[in-house]
Structure 1
């Protein structure tokens, strides 16, 4: 089960999760996208962090992600 959990959170799934939260297509997001400017609020960020942490990315941290809400950084933190 630990191998399965480790593969749940990858770069593509993180992008898909964020796109779904924003109501956009994943292809509309670039690594330079500021996710707060794109409309992601703190409640949805908390939901995403919990999803990623339970999916096997314990390094997902609300404070870190909120401090620099650029997609490329989030990918480096959540799905390195």
Structure 2
């Protein structure tokens, strides 16, 4: 199962109690209330959805744009399980 940008935005919004529309691609998610514990919870959610995000990589840049780039790279590198 692929993760979409909008799923990531919605998951982050739910984690910090915001509306998804309030989260911009380049917003600093720490400034919006996301801390390392919430990040670990998001990573668990996304692992269950089929990707394996790296905590260290996500902790380097707390923006949705950077995280989406990392997720896209992981999804592109992952072999298609259906094929």
Same fold (TM over 0.5): yes
Cα deviation 1:35-68 (Å, max 9, x = unaligned): 111110111100100110121112x111111111
Task: Name segments (4+ residues, structure 1) moved above 3 Å.
Answer: none
Q: For 1:1-80, what aligned pairs fall within 5 Å after superposition?
A: 6-7=1-2, 9-58=3-52, 60-79=53-72
Asked whether the 8 Å contact 1:11–1:79 carries over to 2, the reply is: no
What is the number of residues matched between the two proteins?
73
State TM-score, norm by structure 1: 0.83
Q: Secondary structure at the match of 1:31?
A: coil
State TM-score, norm by structure 2: 0.80
Distance of 1:26 and 1:19 partners within structure 2: 5
- Where structure 2 has 5 or more consecutive residues not aligned to the other structure, the ranges are 74-83
Q: CA deviation at 1:30?
A: 0.7
Distance of 1:15 and 1:34 partners within structure 2: 13
